[in-house]
Chain A
């Protein structure tokens, strides 16, 4: 199974700043089978990006994604208060589908 390693585990930033979250796969997953989800306490996850860089419906343009192969990045510019949450990457290239362990974005 493909192991996804996210870094850092926790990222402390201030509103208005930018953030880069990393997701590294144990083997290549191409360029179109990587998704990012946002989860706030007590809520279900929410799809943010798919295909490594495509924004899901209703996701603002300050969220962007890049990468291919084994290294992927979620970038958030000009952080808003509602962006502070835990972010998970997921690969849907091979079975079983797997998630990274998450990066908590905190103030």
Chain B
């Protein structure tokens, strides 16, 4: 079965960086894009960007451009999202999600990773 398993919760200080991983299993890793979405406590969903596990190409929402990097390691079927220059407003649950094929958007999601920015 398709699974996306994310790394554990993180606590970071303002100005630091965080790297969240998302390990895929149950399907051909290189055939599906991975997208990242975050959600602050009690707030809505915010799309951050995507990465192609096949090519390594990535695209980011303008809000995060210059501060986010999404990459992959094919050998371990894992995608990474690194966010730098963290501020308190980056405290959120970060989700990875698989983009389906034939017009299907985000069909499988990771369990989420809580990133807390605290001094």
- Interface residues of chain A, those whose CB is within 8 Å of chain B, are 1, 32, 35, 37, 39, 44-47, 50-51, 56-57, 88, 90, 92, 95-102
Of the residues A35, A45, A96, A101, contact of B95 by C-beta under 8 Å: A45
Residue of A nearest to B47 (CB): A97
Of the residues A32, A56, A99, contact of B46 by C-beta under 8 Å: A99
Residues of A within 8 A of B9 (CB): none
Q: When chains A and B are docked, how far (Å) is the Cα of A51 from the Cα of B45?
A: 19
A sample of 16 cross-chain residue pairs with beta-carbon separation below 8 angstroms, ordered by A number, consists of A32-B103, A35-B105, A35-B106, A39-B45, A44-B95, A44-B97, A50-B105, A56-B104, A56-B107, A57-B107, A92-B105, A97-B35, A97-B61, A99-B44, A99-B47, A102-B44
- Could you mark each residue 94-119 of chain B with 1 if its beta carbon is under 8 Å from any beta carbon of chain A, else 0? 01010010011111011110000000
- Interface residues of chain B, those whose CB is within 8 Å of chain A, are 35, 37, 44-47, 49, 59-63, 95, 97, 100, 103-107, 109-112
Cross-chain pair count, CB within 8 angstroms: 59
Q: When chains A and B are docked, how far (Å) is the Cα of A99 from the Cα of B60?
A: 15
Q: Min CB distance, B16 to chain A, in Å?
A: 25
